[in-house]
Structure 1
């Protein structure tokens, strides 16, 4: 395999000589070719390059800029890979072999890059060497190939960029609109990702970089900054987002995620931009389920390659996320976002965000000078933050202040004046640039109990029922069971009120729980009988009503009516028999016997799964639960051809039925359908030990393949 190393030069011969000598010293012979494109250097660069027998040289008669020079080199390259390398770099031991190992570790990886001592974005690492000899010693210890140190990223800086030649052929050359240079690598990184390929940072590979040797030495600082501004605007015009802002990784927010690396957490990032923070979380927490909210359509397209990213109008499942991050607190006022998204947080979930301090000395100074920007209306002080989160119903609240890194003498003087004019005795209130907030969602028990207490309030009962509909039935049942008295009375009251208001899915769970608490309670028996009768479940209704010991005239009349209905509609066909059996299974009436009879009929009469699904859809209330149960039963009785359709349809009715997700995942695992099994098991929110162990085993088997 051959790599074509393309280097653009403009003066600075000493850098170019060091760069090329290092390539010769630390790269395997016959594994590379060197192509140098000179942009009309005025020193001895061209003369020296012309003497080098192992270099292909292109000499431009004018400075055509970095993108054009790179493209000229790429066009004559013959290697399997293209490596764009700045001339102010010094490569090190194992540098190229390490990166090639990473580049070809996955078909989806399109380009890779190393870390260095001097660069923008996240490729810079801390170093402590003082000489080049020390640098090479550092690199020799550092450059040990280790796949655990490879990290997918949004952007790779073009100082040292290794790309598969096949990918260059697919997406084309560098965009020369960014001449003379800057943002062409942002553009190329984006194009690689949009083509469906990954960028990977090789944190196991280090090279030395002097840093911007050509630009900064030959153009005034103001002109250089103007070039950055101009090319930034070109990028925005082309792609409709700011690359500098949209690739940010909020390490400060990630640091507040207190979980084991193997934890299967669900995370939502509000204002995720291109997903830099989510991608970093994916590296740190490989089992995390990643979601984002973003209004910029191009950013959504970028981030959707590795996360489920939607626009701000999307509604998530209530109580779904372990963590909600707010990456950009200036999108909307924090209290609006809390109101909009808090219900999607689990009971013990955590909301993590960063909010700028409205009392920061620079903000105050801008306000005094009349320079307050629109977005600064989103800034809050400590007391306002505390009030907002308490109003939103959060429990534990941890707030950390992040101070400015450097304060000049004049700024310190201004801060002291502010202290003299205010009630604060220290400078901390003005030095804190932003607040990092970690808030734990309060358990809904108190809210549930408050709503239950309003059920008998003539003016508040309707509101109470509507409020309770925002909670899970299981949470409400748990709250009622913790009460000292009136448990059965409240279960019956909730069932009747939901029945009267047409919330039928919230009726039977409460009656069944009341029956479980006391199977002889006559109010429960009557309500169960009457409501099942109204649902057309005559046989089940009669079973409950007959259990009432003291039957008044109303109950006797109802029993007679139900018996008459049964007599008039005796089962005349197979579907009717199956329907009655399924209803007995649903309402736990002689369930084991009903299941046995149901299985015998299915086997003896060769009933097709489509017929069962049709009856469930037409006649059964708790569709998802019954189908999941049938899937387990049919698996036990070795009716395997029906199992997957039953589990699948269970998930159609309720995509978050965790029992069905678990059972289908385990069944597919037994069949050897590892990828499908892994997808279902990873979708479970509260994974048990069996699911977690199976996921680990599946990931290992799939990676071994």
Structure 2
């Protein structure tokens, strides 16, 4: 049996009806696509999510159901699922995402066109901590699904460089994943394992890029809450990341977006402007404004910087 182009590994933990069900339901249009494999991992949920995951998969036999007896953490759960996937590209999917129409069709085109040294591709979204984030004032999730479908259907064929990628949903070449040994289990339940993988990928000589042609709705952090335990885990894992990568750069989201808009300006200057780029420019420019500092002085300086660059 030939390997599929894409293997989706959907990682769920608790609250199946609140998060995972909507994510899986949005994938139904592609379940019969021979180029796509879907694996669903329940990561040792303490509620009835494992049973509901199994029932959903039983109703959709194209999907592989993996039920862990314990919570392996984000890295462990993804590594476990990826180890049973057959695709030439892995698509690691957090359960708090929803796929608009045409998403995976667009992604298949992007991975086919990707240069050989590009080993990781991050989609654009409505909620991320780097240059993958777009912004539209007052937009609801339903609004973003419509925006996402339009972006998926109107490609620009542009990849933008990224220092790191957010792992709410990420496409990774299988050979690069295997070479790096997957995600580092030392990060425990979660946080910063994606940053670590991004840095290790670059150190191994690969490029990571943001694809402007694939949009995925990110509902938000549905698994981790702002509890004292979560804050302690974030602090602990940030220190771990710094110990592994002393030169790591913790740039603000707006700086990543500004760098991408500068690349957009170069495309405009080269006469390579299209309606699709214009639409994305507006969403990215909106993110720059939406991410302005709260301090009046810093906000003024930031707006001045935007004006000087753009």
TM-score for both structures, normalised by structure 1: 0.36
Instruction: Report what 2:82 is aligned to.
Output: 74
Higher helix share: 1
- Equivalent of residue 121 in structure 1, options 117, 123, 130: 130
Matched, 1:223 2:225: no
CA drift of 1:146 comes to 2.3
**Secondary structure at the residue paired with 1:126?**
coil
**Secondary structure at the residue paired with 1:104?**
helix
Matched, 1:199 2:208: yes
**Secondary structure at the residue paired with 1:173?**
coil
Find the aligned partners of 2:129 and 2:79 in 1 and give their Cα distance.
23
CA drift of 1:194 comes to 1.7
Sort the Cα spacing of 1:250 and 1:104 in 2 relative to 1 into closer, same or farther, 3 A. Answer: closer
RMSD: 2.8
The structure showing larger relative contact order (alpha-carbon pairs under 8 Å, at least 6 residues apart) is: 2
Equivalent residues of 1:27, 1:94 under 8 A apart: no
Q: Deviations over 1:468-526 (max 9, x none)?
A: xxxxxxxxxxxxxxxxxxxxxxxxxxxxxxxxxxxxxxxxxxxxxxxxxxxxxxxxxxx
CA drift of 1:85 comes to 0.1
**Secondary structure at the residue paired with 2:153?**
coil
Structure 2 counterparts to residues 637-652 of structure 1, below 5 A: none
Instruction: Report what 1:11 is aligned to.
Output: 14
Find the aligned partners of 1:33 and 1:148 in 2 and give their Cα distance.
24
TM-score for both structures, normalised by structure 2: 0.77
Find the aligned partners of 1:287 and 1:170 in 2 and give their Cα distance.
38
The structure with the larger Rg is 1
Instruction: Report what 2:244 is aligned to.
Output: 238
Find the aligned partners of 1:74 and 1:93 in 2 and give their Cα distance.
25
**Secondary structure at the residue paired with 1:192?**
helix
CA drift of 1:129 comes to 4.2
- Equivalent of residue 89 in structure 1, options 92, 97, 109: 97
Instruction: Report what 1:130 is aligned to.
Output: 140
Equivalent residues of 2:5, 2:108 under 8 A apart: no
Find the aligned partners of 1:225 and 1:102 in 2 and give their Cα distance.
36
Matched, 1:143 2:152: yes
Equivalent residues of 1:9, 1:37 under 8 A apart: yes
Instruction: Report what 2:51 is aligned to.
Output: 47
CA drift of 1:101 comes to 2.2
Find the aligned partners of 2:6 and 2:157 in 1 and give their Cα distance.
24
Find the aligned partners of 1:164 and 1:142 in 2 and give their Cα distance.
23
Find the aligned partners of 1:144 and 1:215 in 2 and give their Cα distance.
33
**Secondary structure at the residue paired with 2:40?**
strand
Sort the Cα spacing of 1:247 and 1:197 in 2 relative to 1 into closer, same or farther, 3 A. Answer: farther
Find the aligned partners of 1:247 and 1:119 in 2 and give their Cα distance.
8
Find the aligned partners of 1:93 and 1:102 in 2 and give their Cα distance.
16
Alignment: residue pair count: 271
Find the aligned partners of 1:245 and 1:131 in 2 and give their Cα distance.
27
Sort the Cα spacing of 1:142 and 1:111 in 2 relative to 1 into closer, same or farther, 3 A. Answer: same
Matched, 1:58 2:66: yes
Equivalent residues of 1:27, 1:93 under 8 A apart: no
**Secondary structure at the residue paired with 1:199?**
strand
Equivalent residues of 2:42, 2:50 under 8 A apart: yes
